[in-house]
Amino acid sequence: MILIGQYDSPFVRRVGIALRLYDLPFEHRPWSVVGDFQRLLAINPTGSVPVLVLDDGTALTESKVILDHLDSLVPENRRLWPKDRLGALRLSGFAMQLGDRMVSLFYERRLHAQVSDVLQGRRETQITATLAMLERERAAQSGAWWFGDDLTHADIAVACILRFMQDCLAGLYDPESHPALAAHSARAEALPVFQDISQPFMPPA
């Protein structure tokens, strides 16, 4: 399998971390969505990452779709879901939507000569409200991870999003005002797999 995309993307990173935790062999091609746009389009006409190219050439997009496929490759007891799978799906959904809003705001600020105040305000509201909700909910959990003792896809999703937030929208996320999320992030980033599947943020040129 080939994983396309850079690990400064939370979506690519969560897939890379799952591949590694599942011990699934893969080749990583850290293509840039800007610099490698043409060859990316040839594989994924939407031009986004991650893309996972399977051994038969099938190209999968969308981190959730890719994780569903990876889950099907490992025995049930190794899958990164807790007993409360619905709860973890719900949380992953919020984390990924937060990521989508962050990407949208980042591109708005970076790529538009005239930033839309309406869109920017809307995104900032969505991002801060979701962070506040996640902080409240994480603070209510006392376990090492969100759903207890074991790391799940949802924990990975939240941690990858928080790292991205600090990298590209730091002004909207103050770890000191979000202590439960900051602790979650620190615990995850200390794991060897998070350190291996990682790269410094490279803003699109």
Ligand X SMILES: N[C@@H](CCC(=O)N[C@@H](CS)C(=O)NCC(=O)O)C(=O)O
Q: Which residues bind ligand X (CB under 6 A)?
A: 9, 11, 33, 47-50, 62-64, 96, 100, 103
Whole-number minimum distance, CB 188 to ligand X, in Å?
18
Whole-number minimum distance, CB 140 to ligand X, in Å?
26
Q: Which is nearer to ligand X, 5 or 82 (CB)?
A: 5
Q: Which is nearer to ligand X, 30 or 47 (CB)?
A: 47
DSSP letters for the chain = -EEES-TTSHHHHHHHHHHHHTT---EEE---TTTTHHHHHHH-TT--S-EEE-TTS-EEESHHHHHHHHHHTS-GGGSS--S-HHHHHHHHHHHHHHHHHHHHHHHHHHH-SS--HHHHHHHHHHHHHHHHHHHHHHHT--SSBTTBSS--HHHHHHHHHHHHHHHH-GGG--GGG-HHHHHHHHHHHTSHHHHHS--------
**Closest-approach residue to ligand X (CB):** 48
Whole-number minimum distance, CB 45 to ligand X, in Å?
11
Q: Which is nearer to ligand X, 140 or 205 (CB)?
A: 205
Q: Which is nearer to ligand X, 26 or 180 (CB)?
A: 26
Whole-number minimum distance, CB 99 to ligand X, in Å?
7
